[in-house]
């Protein structure tokens, strides 16, 4: 139980890394043990992430499997993959035996199909093996994929005293007991109890008389994102998972949900920035290029589309060169407005705070675009006339085009995410370069069309 450490102020310093590397080089196992035993497994994982594979393997082999199993869970995904590749199936099975079923299944799921079967066949605890098999069948983005089989379960026919006695047995396997789940003879979830309720209750009371029948739960096939939303909304620390017949299958704890939320937020942020797969600053140039180039290419085709449009109006451009000066302004404004509108809609959709009335929402964006557009156009009118000396018609063109482009960008930025959401596509893909690019092209087209109307070329 010494797994939690007081080293809140743990600092991953170069000195520490050097010290560890030196101890490994000298094969000074005793001092390595002394040093690492002080740290939380999450801290040791941070150290391992900084070492080379050979050094990391040295430490993995040195420490006992109870510790290394937890370290494995905390390693950077790329590094975990490398370490697992250097362990035999039997060794992985030993690690996995130490983990809760949800973590065990997560590790095994990262292996190849063939390796998965090998590792599972080496797991000695038959129950653990069966439970891991069960969990591996779920999609990782569902409640079933998140849940652990470890939980404390009591039958409604038991007494408080009997309960406490049996819980002592069950609880040893469960790292943290949030709630005690109450089931009936058919193993169906009927309610819950907190340990506190049990402690406060009298020994001879029946569970049936004291349990709380209103209990939040999710279905095994519910999406991870929905589970996160429910747990957050109702401030839950754990939630039981049931099947369609209401049979209790497992439980999901808040620490896993925190990870889901974090990944979700990072993914949305990266999508908004035009990064298509999960990358980190320390990934290789090749991986970063794979994640970044696709959006740059979309932006490139947008830019070439804009070039075609300008090319189509090239005669007008030569006669009214002042118009060309404001192409970047039109383009930048369209992009900025579109990103703003889409970000607000994407967040609203994620929080379930946007209802179905698309038309009223678009009308609001229209008004908002009008307000912002008039404000910006007024300033640009003054500057274009007095600084750049544009003619009356040119100034009018720029101002009307700005207002039109801002309204268009706001409408597109609002409509596309709502549309994608209705089609079952993650609206987060709509923000960032995608909206920016389409708004760039439409914005420039609108600008020249309005110029044609007003100036008449």
Residues from 275 through 294 that contact a second copy (CB under 8 A): 275, 279-282, 285, 288-289, 292-293
Closer residue to a second copy, CB minimum distance, 133 or 349: 349
Residue 107 zone, left/alpha/beta (φ > 0; ψ -120 to 50; rest):
alpha
Task: Supply the minimum distance, in Å, between the C-beta of residue 391 and a second copy.
Answer: 15
Closer residue to a second copy, CB minimum distance, 4 or 124: 4
Q: Which of 222, 219, 227 is CA-nearest to residue 246?
A: 219
Closer residue to a second copy, CB minimum distance, 135 or 198: 198
- Specify which residues 379 forms β-bridges with: none
* Residue 206 DSSP label: B
Taking the C-alpha atoms of residue 241 and residue 149, their distance in angstroms, rounded to an integer, is: 10
Task: Return the range that interacts with a second copy (CB under 8 A); candidates 112-120, 132-140, 154-162, 309-317.
Answer: 309-317
Among 61, 85, 90, 176, binds a second copy (CB under 8 A): 176
User: Considering the rule CB under 8 A, would residue 186 count as an interface residue with a second copy?
Assistant: no
Question: Which of the residues 314 through 333 are near a second copy (CB under 8 A)?
Answer: 314, 317-318, 321, 324-333
Q: Are 154 and 163 in contact (CB under 8 A)?
A: yes
User: Considering the rule CB under 8 A, would residue 30 count as an interface residue with a second copy?
Assistant: no
Closer residue to a second copy, CB minimum distance, 49 or 134: 49
Query: Residues with Cβ < 8 Å from 117, sequence gap 6 or more?
Result: none
Among 67, 342, 395, 397, binds a second copy (CB under 8 A): 342
Among 153, 277, 340, 426, binds a second copy (CB under 8 A): 340
Taking the C-alpha atoms of residue 159 and residue 205, their distance in angstroms, rounded to an integer, is: 6
- Cα angle value 75/114/105 (rounded, 5°): 45
Question: Which of the residues 245 through 274 are near a second copy (CB under 8 A)?
Answer: 254-255, 257-259, 261-262, 265-266, 268-270, 272-274
Task: Supply the minimum distance, in Å, between the C-beta of residue 379 and a second copy.
Answer: 7
Task: Supply the minimum distance, in Å, between the C-beta of residue 400 and a second copy.
Answer: 16
Number of H helices and number of E strands within the chain? 23, 6
Question: Which of the residues 81 through 140 are near a second copy (CB under 8 A)?
Answer: none
Phi (first) and psi of residue 152, to 5 degrees: -105, 120
Question: Which of the residues 60 through 89 are near a second copy (CB under 8 A)?
Answer: none
Taking the C-alpha atoms of residue 147 and residue 124, their distance in angstroms, rounded to an integer, is: 22
User: Considering the rule CB under 8 A, would residue 144 count as an interface residue with a second copy?
Assistant: no
Taking the C-alpha atoms of residue 130 and residue 110, their distance in angstroms, rounded to an integer, is: 18
Closer residue to a second copy, CB minimum distance, 135 or 377: 377
Sheet holding 189-193, edge to edge: 152-155, 180-183, 189-193
Question: Which of the residues 371 through 430 are near a second copy (CB under 8 A)?
Answer: 371-372, 375-376, 379-380, 383-384, 387-388, 406
Task: Supply the minimum distance, in Å, between the C-beta of residue 281 and a second copy.
Answer: 4
* Residue 178 DSSP label: -
Closer residue to a second copy, CB minimum distance, 13 or 112: 13
SS3 317: helix
Burial readout 169-178 (b: 16 or more C-beta within 10 A, e: otherwise): eebeeeeeeb
Task: Return the range that interacts with a second copy (CB under 8 A); candidates 51-59, 84-92, 104-112, 311-319.
Answer: 311-319
């Amino acid at each position: 139980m010494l797994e939690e450490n007081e080293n809140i102020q743990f600092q991953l310093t170069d000195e520490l890394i050097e010290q560890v590397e030196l101890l490994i080089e000298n094969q000074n196992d005793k001092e390595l043990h002394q040093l690492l035993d002080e740290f939380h497994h999450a801290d040791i994982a941070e150290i391992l992430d900084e070492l080379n594979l050979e050094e990391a393997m040295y430490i993995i082999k040195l420490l006992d499997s109870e510790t290394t199993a937890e370290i494995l869970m905390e390693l950077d995904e790329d590094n975990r993959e490398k370490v697992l590749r250097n362990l035999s199936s039997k060794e992985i099975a030993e690690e996995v035996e130490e983990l809760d079923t949800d973590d065990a299944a997560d590790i095994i799921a990262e292996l190849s199909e063939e390796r998965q079967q090998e590792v599972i066949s080496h797991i000695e605890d038959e129950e653990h093996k069966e439970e891991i098999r069960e969990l591996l069948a779920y999609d990782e983005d569902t409640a079933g994929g998140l849940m652990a089989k470890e939980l404390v379960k009591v039958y409604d026919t038991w007494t408080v005293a009997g309960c406490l006695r049996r819980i002592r047995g069950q609880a040893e396997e469960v790292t943290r007991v949030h709630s005690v789940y109450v089931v009936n003879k058919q193993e169906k979830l009927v309610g819950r109890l907190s340990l506190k309720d049990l402690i406060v209750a009298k020994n001879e009371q029946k569970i049936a008389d004291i349990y709380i029948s209103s209990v939040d739960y999710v279905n095994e096939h519910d999406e991870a994102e929905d589970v996160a939303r429910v747990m957050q909304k109702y401030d839950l620390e754990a939630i039981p998972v049931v099947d369609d017949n209401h049979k209790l299958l497992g439980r999901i704890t808040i620490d896993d949900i925190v990870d889901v939320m974090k990944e979700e937020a990072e993914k949305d942020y990266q999508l908004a920035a035009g990064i298509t797969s999960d990358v980190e600053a320390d990934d290789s140039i090749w991986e970063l290029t794979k994640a970044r180039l696709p959006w740059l290419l979309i932006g490139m085709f947008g830019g070439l589309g804009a070039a075609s449009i300008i090319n189509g109006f090239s005669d007008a451009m030569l006669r009214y060169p002042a118009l060309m000066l404001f192409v970047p302004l039109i383009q930048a404004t369209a992009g900025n407005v579109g990103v703003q509108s889409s970000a607000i809609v994407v967040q609203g959709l994620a929080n379930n705070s946007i209802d179905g009335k698309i038309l009223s929402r678009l009308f609001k964006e229209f008004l908002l675009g009008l307000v912002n557009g008039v404000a910006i156009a007024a300033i640009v009118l003054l500057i274009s006339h007095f600084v750049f000396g544009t003619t009356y018609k040119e100034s009018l063109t720029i101002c009307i085009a700005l207002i039109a482009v801002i309204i268009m960008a706001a409408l597109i930025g609002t409509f596309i995410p709502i549309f994608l959401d209705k089609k079952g596509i993650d609206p987060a893909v709509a923000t960032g370069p995608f909206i920016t690019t389409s708004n760039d092209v439409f914005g420039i087209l609108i600008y020249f069309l309005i110029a044609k109307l007003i100036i008449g070329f």
